A and B are shown apart, each in its own frame.
Chain A
Amino acid sequence: MKKLKYIFIACALGMTGCATTAPEDLFQVAETSLQDRQMQSRFFETDNELELLSAGVAVLQDMGYSIDETETKSGVITASKTVDATNNAQIAGAVLLAVLGGGNMSIDSQQQIKVSFVTLPSKNNKNGYLARATFQRIVINTQGQETKVETMKTEELYNEFFTKLSKSVFLEAQQI
Protein backbone atom coordinates (compact mmCIF):
# COMPACT_ATOMS: atom_id res chain seq x y z
CA MET A 1 0.00 0.00 0.00
CA LYS A 2 2.80 2.38 0.95
CA LYS A 3 4.62 1.56 -2.27
CA LEU A 4 1.52 2.49 -4.21
CA LYS A 5 1.43 5.88 -2.55
CA TYR A 6 4.99 6.64 -3.64
CA ILE A 7 4.26 5.57 -7.18
CA PHE A 8 1.25 7.85 -7.20
CA ILE A 9 3.29 10.84 -5.98
CA ALA A 10 5.98 10.10 -8.55
CA CYS A 11 3.37 10.01 -11.30
CA ALA A 12 1.89 13.33 -10.17
CA LEU A 13 5.36 14.87 -10.13
CA GLY A 14 6.05 13.53 -13.60
CA MET A 15 2.83 15.00 -14.94
CA THR A 16 3.47 18.52 -13.66
CA GLY A 17 7.06 18.36 -14.89
CA CYS A 18 8.56 21.56 -16.24
CA ALA A 19 6.66 24.74 -17.07
CA THR A 20 4.33 24.38 -20.05
CA THR A 21 5.70 25.28 -23.46
CA ALA A 22 3.75 27.26 -26.02
CA PRO A 23 1.36 25.27 -28.26
CA GLU A 24 2.38 25.12 -31.94
CA ASP A 25 -0.72 26.85 -33.25
CA LEU A 26 -0.37 29.78 -30.84
CA PHE A 27 0.03 32.44 -33.54
CA GLN A 28 -2.16 30.83 -36.15
CA VAL A 29 -5.06 33.07 -37.09
CA ALA A 30 -8.19 31.61 -35.52
CA GLU A 31 -11.21 30.71 -37.64
CA THR A 32 -13.23 33.29 -35.74
CA SER A 33 -10.63 35.99 -36.43
CA LEU A 34 -12.71 37.78 -39.09
CA GLN A 35 -15.86 37.75 -36.93
CA ASP A 36 -13.83 39.01 -33.98
CA ARG A 37 -12.44 41.81 -36.10
CA GLN A 38 -15.93 42.82 -37.22
CA MET A 39 -17.22 42.68 -33.67
CA GLN A 40 -14.35 44.77 -32.31
CA SER A 41 -14.10 47.35 -35.13
CA ARG A 42 -16.19 50.21 -36.50
CA PHE A 43 -15.70 52.56 -39.43
CA PHE A 44 -15.88 56.31 -38.89
CA GLU A 45 -16.18 58.74 -41.75
CA THR A 46 -13.70 61.39 -40.72
CA ASP A 47 -10.34 62.67 -41.90
CA ASN A 48 -9.29 63.61 -38.40
CA GLU A 49 -7.60 60.68 -36.71
CA LEU A 50 -6.62 62.73 -33.68
CA GLU A 51 -10.23 63.67 -33.03
CA LEU A 52 -11.23 60.00 -33.13
CA LEU A 53 -8.41 59.10 -30.75
CA SER A 54 -9.29 61.80 -28.28
CA ALA A 55 -12.93 60.68 -28.41
CA GLY A 56 -11.60 57.25 -27.48
CA VAL A 57 -9.76 58.71 -24.50
CA ALA A 58 -12.92 60.53 -23.41
CA VAL A 59 -15.07 57.40 -23.61
CA LEU A 60 -12.54 55.33 -21.68
CA GLN A 61 -12.46 58.03 -19.01
CA ASP A 62 -16.27 57.99 -18.94
CA MET A 63 -16.08 54.27 -18.29
CA GLY A 64 -13.72 54.79 -15.37
CA TYR A 65 -10.48 53.65 -16.99
CA SER A 66 -7.17 55.37 -16.45
CA ILE A 67 -5.03 55.88 -19.51
CA ASP A 68 -1.72 54.02 -19.40
CA GLU A 69 -0.20 54.85 -22.78
CA THR A 70 -0.98 56.97 -25.80
CA GLU A 71 0.80 57.02 -29.15
CA THR A 72 -0.79 59.31 -31.69
CA LYS A 73 1.52 58.51 -34.62
CA SER A 74 0.27 54.97 -34.91
CA GLY A 75 -3.07 55.55 -33.21
CA VAL A 76 -2.81 53.56 -29.98
CA ILE A 77 -4.39 54.15 -26.59
CA THR A 78 -4.17 51.69 -23.73
CA ALA A 79 -6.14 51.96 -20.54
CA SER A 80 -6.86 49.84 -17.51
CA LYS A 81 -8.82 49.61 -14.29
CA THR A 82 -9.20 47.26 -11.36
CA VAL A 83 -12.77 46.73 -10.21
CA ASP A 84 -14.93 44.47 -8.10
CA ALA A 85 -15.57 40.98 -9.52
CA THR A 86 -18.02 39.52 -7.02
CA ASN A 87 -21.16 37.99 -8.41
CA ASN A 88 -24.24 36.98 -6.47
CA ALA A 89 -24.39 33.40 -7.70
CA GLN A 90 -20.90 32.68 -6.36
CA ILE A 91 -21.64 34.33 -3.02
CA ALA A 92 -24.83 32.28 -2.70
CA GLY A 93 -22.83 29.13 -3.46
CA ALA A 94 -20.24 29.98 -0.81
CA VAL A 95 -22.92 30.72 1.78
CA LEU A 96 -24.71 27.47 1.01
CA LEU A 97 -21.45 25.53 1.37
CA ALA A 98 -20.74 27.21 4.72
CA VAL A 99 -24.26 26.41 5.96
CA LEU A 100 -23.81 22.78 4.96
CA GLY A 101 -20.67 22.73 7.08
CA GLY A 102 -18.23 22.92 4.22
CA GLY A 103 -14.94 24.77 4.37
CA ASN A 104 -14.08 28.30 3.43
CA MET A 105 -14.85 28.64 -0.26
CA SER A 106 -12.97 31.31 -2.17
CA ILE A 107 -14.95 33.55 -4.48
CA ASP A 108 -13.90 35.99 -7.19
CA SER A 109 -13.05 39.29 -5.57
CA GLN A 110 -11.52 41.66 -8.11
CA GLN A 111 -10.67 41.93 -11.79
CA GLN A 112 -8.00 43.83 -13.66
CA ILE A 113 -9.32 44.94 -17.03
CA LYS A 114 -7.11 46.22 -19.81
CA VAL A 115 -8.23 47.70 -23.08
CA SER A 116 -6.41 48.90 -26.17
CA PHE A 117 -8.07 51.28 -28.60
CA VAL A 118 -6.44 51.50 -32.01
CA THR A 119 -7.24 53.69 -35.02
CA LEU A 120 -6.20 52.71 -38.51
CA PRO A 121 -6.70 54.39 -41.91
CA SER A 122 -9.24 52.25 -43.76
CA LYS A 123 -7.80 50.28 -46.66
CA ASN A 124 -11.16 50.01 -48.46
CA ASN A 125 -12.50 53.48 -47.91
CA LYS A 126 -10.05 56.37 -48.06
CA ASN A 127 -12.51 58.76 -46.43
CA GLY A 128 -12.29 57.38 -42.97
CA TYR A 129 -10.70 55.47 -40.17
CA LEU A 130 -11.29 52.15 -38.51
CA ALA A 131 -11.34 52.02 -34.73
CA ARG A 132 -10.75 48.71 -33.01
CA ALA A 133 -11.04 48.00 -29.31
CA THR A 134 -9.90 44.87 -27.51
CA PHE A 135 -10.59 44.04 -23.88
CA GLN A 136 -8.92 41.48 -21.64
CA ARG A 137 -9.15 40.70 -17.96
CA ILE A 138 -7.60 38.80 -15.08
CA VAL A 139 -10.01 37.82 -12.29
CA ILE A 140 -8.54 37.24 -8.82
CA ASN A 141 -10.36 35.43 -6.01
CA THR A 142 -10.37 36.07 -2.27
CA GLN A 143 -7.25 33.91 -1.86
CA GLY A 144 -5.31 35.94 -4.43
CA GLN A 145 -5.41 33.22 -7.10
CA GLU A 146 -6.10 34.01 -10.75
CA THR A 147 -9.36 32.33 -11.70
CA LYS A 148 -9.89 33.82 -15.16
CA VAL A 149 -7.22 34.99 -17.58
CA GLU A 150 -9.00 35.80 -20.81
CA THR A 151 -9.74 37.98 -23.81
CA MET A 152 -13.27 39.35 -23.54
CA LYS A 153 -15.30 38.45 -26.59
CA THR A 154 -18.92 39.28 -25.88
CA GLU A 155 -20.75 41.20 -28.57
CA GLU A 156 -22.74 43.38 -26.14
CA LEU A 157 -19.55 44.74 -24.59
CA TYR A 158 -18.25 46.02 -27.92
CA ASN A 159 -21.66 47.25 -29.09
CA GLU A 160 -22.02 49.34 -25.97
CA PHE A 161 -18.49 50.65 -26.20
CA PHE A 162 -18.97 51.85 -29.77
CA THR A 163 -22.40 53.31 -29.02
CA LYS A 164 -20.75 55.43 -26.35
CA LEU A 165 -17.89 56.29 -28.69
CA SER A 166 -20.18 57.50 -31.48
CA LYS A 167 -21.96 59.80 -29.06
CA SER A 168 -18.62 61.21 -27.99
CA VAL A 169 -17.29 61.73 -31.51
CA PHE A 170 -20.61 62.99 -32.99
CA LEU A 171 -20.16 60.54 -35.84
CA GLU A 172 -22.02 57.44 -36.73
CA ALA A 173 -20.20 54.19 -36.08
CA GLN A 174 -20.62 51.96 -39.11
CA GLN A 175 -20.36 48.20 -39.11
CA ILE A 176 -17.48 46.87 -41.21
Chain B
Amino acid sequence: MSTLKIAFFAACLTLITGCATTHDARILGADNQVESRSMQTRSFDTSDRTIVIRNVISTLQDLSFVIDKADTDLGTVSATRLYKGNKVRMTVTARPSSTKKSTIVRANAQYNLKPIENPKIYQDFFTSLSKSLFLSANAVE
Protein backbone atom coordinates (compact mmCIF):
# COMPACT_ATOMS: atom_id res chain seq x y z
CA MET B 1 0.00 0.00 0.00
CA SER B 2 2.73 2.46 0.95
CA THR B 3 4.50 2.03 -2.38
CA LEU B 4 1.27 2.94 -4.09
CA LYS B 5 0.95 6.00 -1.87
CA ILE B 6 4.47 7.19 -2.66
CA ALA B 7 3.94 6.63 -6.35
CA PHE B 8 0.70 8.56 -6.17
CA PHE B 9 2.23 11.57 -4.44
CA ALA B 10 5.15 11.55 -6.88
CA ALA B 11 2.65 11.58 -9.74
CA CYS B 12 0.77 14.49 -8.16
CA LEU B 13 3.97 16.44 -7.72
CA THR B 14 4.98 16.01 -11.37
CA LEU B 15 1.50 17.06 -12.42
CA ILE B 16 1.73 20.25 -10.40
CA THR B 17 5.26 21.18 -11.42
CA GLY B 18 4.49 20.25 -15.02
CA CYS B 19 1.99 23.10 -15.25
CA ALA B 20 4.15 25.85 -13.84
CA THR B 21 6.36 27.83 -16.17
CA THR B 22 9.67 29.24 -15.03
CA HIS B 23 9.65 32.30 -12.86
CA ASP B 24 11.19 34.57 -15.51
CA ALA B 25 8.67 33.66 -18.19
CA ARG B 26 5.79 34.69 -15.98
CA ILE B 27 7.26 38.09 -15.23
CA LEU B 28 9.21 38.89 -18.37
CA GLY B 29 6.98 37.03 -20.85
CA ALA B 30 7.59 33.95 -22.94
CA ASP B 31 10.57 33.71 -25.25
CA ASN B 32 8.72 34.07 -28.55
CA GLN B 33 8.77 37.82 -29.16
CA VAL B 34 8.92 37.73 -32.95
CA GLU B 35 6.10 35.22 -33.25
CA SER B 36 3.77 36.99 -30.85
CA ARG B 37 4.52 40.37 -32.38
CA SER B 38 3.59 39.20 -35.85
CA MET B 39 0.27 37.66 -34.79
CA GLN B 40 -0.60 40.70 -32.68
CA THR B 41 0.25 43.34 -35.29
CA ARG B 42 -1.42 44.60 -38.48
CA SER B 43 -0.92 47.67 -40.63
CA PHE B 44 -3.77 49.84 -41.95
CA ASP B 45 -3.42 52.26 -44.86
CA THR B 46 -4.37 55.46 -43.10
CA SER B 47 -2.33 58.12 -41.35
CA ASP B 48 -5.30 59.28 -39.25
CA ARG B 49 -4.60 57.80 -35.86
CA THR B 50 -7.68 59.29 -34.21
CA ILE B 51 -9.94 57.47 -36.67
CA VAL B 52 -8.09 54.23 -35.96
CA ILE B 53 -8.39 54.69 -32.18
CA ARG B 54 -12.11 55.51 -32.42
CA ASN B 55 -12.69 52.39 -34.49
CA VAL B 56 -10.63 50.28 -32.10
CA ILE B 57 -12.89 51.51 -29.29
CA SER B 58 -16.10 50.72 -31.15
CA THR B 59 -14.79 47.30 -32.21
CA LEU B 60 -13.96 46.53 -28.59
CA GLN B 61 -17.45 47.61 -27.57
CA ASP B 62 -18.93 45.33 -30.22
CA LEU B 63 -17.00 42.50 -28.57
CA SER B 64 -18.60 43.35 -25.19
CA PHE B 65 -15.54 45.06 -23.75
CA VAL B 66 -15.79 47.94 -21.33
CA ILE B 67 -13.13 50.57 -22.02
CA ASP B 68 -10.79 51.20 -19.07
CA LYS B 69 -8.48 53.83 -20.51
CA ALA B 70 -7.80 55.59 -23.78
CA ASP B 71 -5.10 58.04 -24.81
CA THR B 72 -5.39 59.35 -28.34
CA ASP B 73 -2.04 61.18 -28.36
CA LEU B 74 -0.13 58.09 -27.35
CA GLY B 75 -2.55 55.85 -29.24
CA THR B 76 -3.41 53.34 -26.54
CA VAL B 77 -6.71 51.79 -25.48
CA SER B 78 -7.15 49.32 -22.62
CA ALA B 79 -10.35 47.40 -22.06
CA THR B 80 -11.77 44.57 -19.98
CA ARG B 81 -14.40 42.02 -20.87
CA LEU B 82 -16.16 39.85 -18.33
CA TYR B 83 -17.17 36.70 -20.12
CA LYS B 84 -18.94 33.76 -18.47
CA GLY B 85 -17.03 34.18 -15.24
CA ASN B 86 -13.70 34.86 -16.97
CA LYS B 87 -11.76 38.09 -17.30
CA VAL B 88 -10.30 39.14 -20.63
CA ARG B 89 -8.01 42.14 -20.57
CA MET B 90 -6.74 43.75 -23.74
CA THR B 91 -4.50 46.64 -24.71
CA VAL B 92 -4.49 47.98 -28.25
CA THR B 93 -1.91 50.46 -29.48
CA ALA B 94 -1.83 52.43 -32.72
CA ARG B 95 1.37 54.07 -33.90
CA PRO B 96 2.42 55.64 -37.20
CA SER B 97 4.60 53.52 -39.47
CA SER B 98 8.11 54.70 -40.37
CA THR B 99 6.81 56.10 -43.68
CA LYS B 100 3.95 57.87 -41.82
CA LYS B 101 1.57 56.66 -44.51
CA SER B 102 0.01 53.87 -42.50
CA THR B 103 -0.89 53.09 -38.93
CA ILE B 104 0.40 50.02 -37.16
CA VAL B 105 -2.03 48.46 -34.71
CA ARG B 106 -0.94 46.00 -32.07
CA ALA B 107 -3.30 44.14 -29.79
CA ASN B 108 -2.37 41.97 -26.87
CA ALA B 109 -4.76 40.19 -24.61
CA GLN B 110 -4.80 38.14 -21.47
CA TYR B 111 -7.40 35.52 -20.52
CA ASN B 112 -7.64 35.21 -16.73
CA LEU B 113 -4.03 34.58 -15.74
CA LYS B 114 -2.61 33.60 -19.11
CA PRO B 115 -1.63 35.60 -22.18
CA ILE B 116 -3.62 34.69 -25.29
CA GLU B 117 -1.29 32.96 -27.73
CA ASN B 118 -3.77 31.70 -30.28
CA PRO B 119 -3.29 33.56 -33.61
CA LYS B 120 -6.91 32.88 -34.64
CA ILE B 121 -8.25 34.93 -31.74
CA TYR B 122 -6.20 37.97 -32.79
CA GLN B 123 -7.14 37.36 -36.42
CA ASP B 124 -10.83 37.64 -35.47
CA PHE B 125 -10.19 40.95 -33.75
CA PHE B 126 -8.37 42.42 -36.74
CA THR B 127 -11.11 41.17 -39.10
CA SER B 128 -13.70 43.10 -37.08
CA LEU B 129 -11.48 46.17 -36.89
CA SER B 130 -10.85 46.16 -40.61
CA LYS B 131 -14.61 45.92 -41.33
CA SER B 132 -15.21 48.84 -39.01
CA LEU B 133 -12.45 50.93 -40.65
CA PHE B 134 -13.36 49.93 -44.21
CA LEU B 135 -9.66 49.19 -44.66
CA SER B 136 -7.83 45.93 -45.07
CA ALA B 137 -5.54 44.63 -42.35
CA ASN B 138 -2.07 44.00 -43.75
CA ALA B 139 0.56 41.82 -42.18
CA VAL B 140 3.63 43.65 -40.98
CA GLU B 141 6.95 42.16 -41.96
The chain A residues found within 8 Å of chain B, CB to CB, are 2-3, 6, 9-10, 13-14, 17-22, 24-30, 33, 36-37, 40, 68-69, 71, 73-76, 78, 114-116, 118, 120-121, 132, 134-138, 146, 148-151
Q: Is the CB of A149 within 8 A of B4?
A: no
Q: Is the CB of B121 within 8 A of A26?
A: yes
Given contacts A74-B72, A120-B54, A136-B82, contact A24 B66 (CB under 8 A): no
Quote the shortest CB–CB distance from B112 to chain A (angstroms).
Answer: 6
Q: Is the CB of B54 within 8 A of A78?
A: no
Q: Is the CB of A136 within 8 A of B111?
A: no
The SS class assigned to the A binding surface is mixed
- In the complex, which of the residues A18, A74, A121, A135 contacts B66, with contact meaning CB atoms closer than 8 Å? A135
Return 9 A-B CB contacts under 8 Å, by A number: A2-B1, A18-B19, A24-B121, A25-B124, A26-B116, A27-B128, A37-B61, A69-B69, A76-B67
Given contacts A19-B113, A19-B114, contact A71 B122 (CB under 8 A): no
Q: Is B120 an interface residue (CB 8 A)?
A: yes
Quote the shortest CB–CB distance from A58 to chain B (angstroms).
Answer: 19
Chain B positions 60 through 73: 1 when the CB is less than 8 Å from some CB of chain A, otherwise 0:
01111111111111
With A26-B124, A114-B80 given, name 13 new contacts (CB 8 A): A22-B109, A22-B116, A27-B63, A27-B125, A28-B124, A29-B128, A74-B77, A76-B67, A78-B67, A78-B68, A136-B66, A148-B85, A151-B81
Q: Is B98 an interface residue (CB 8 A)?
A: no
Q: Is the CB of B8 within 8 A of A10?
A: yes
- In the complex, which of the residues B1, B54, B120 contacts A74, with contact meaning CB atoms closer than 8 Å? B54
Quote the shortest CB–CB distance from B26 to chain A (angstroms).
Answer: 11
The SS class assigned to the B binding surface is mixed
Q: Is B87 an interface residue (CB 8 A)?
A: yes
CA distance A18 to B71 in the complex (A): 35
CA distance A116 to B78 in the complex (A): 11
* CB nearest neighbor in B for A146: B85
Residues of chain B within 8 A of A76, CB atoms compared: 57, 67, 69-70
Q: Is the CB of B111 within 8 A of A22?
A: yes
Q: Is the CB of A118 within 8 A of B58?
A: yes
CA distance A69 to B80 in the complex (A): 14
Residues of chain A within 8 A of B19, CB atoms compared: 17-19
Given contacts A74-B54, A149-B82, contact A22 B64 (CB under 8 A): no
Given contacts A69-B70, A76-B57, contact A36 B121 (CB under 8 A): no
Quote the shortest CB–CB distance from A79 to chain B (angstroms).
Answer: 10
Q: Is the CB of B62 within 8 A of A37?
A: yes
* CB nearest neighbor in A for B56: A74
CA distance A3 to B4 in the complex (A): 9
Residues of chain B within 8 A of A120, CB atoms compared: 54, 57-58
Q: Is the CB of B128 within 8 A of A40?
A: no
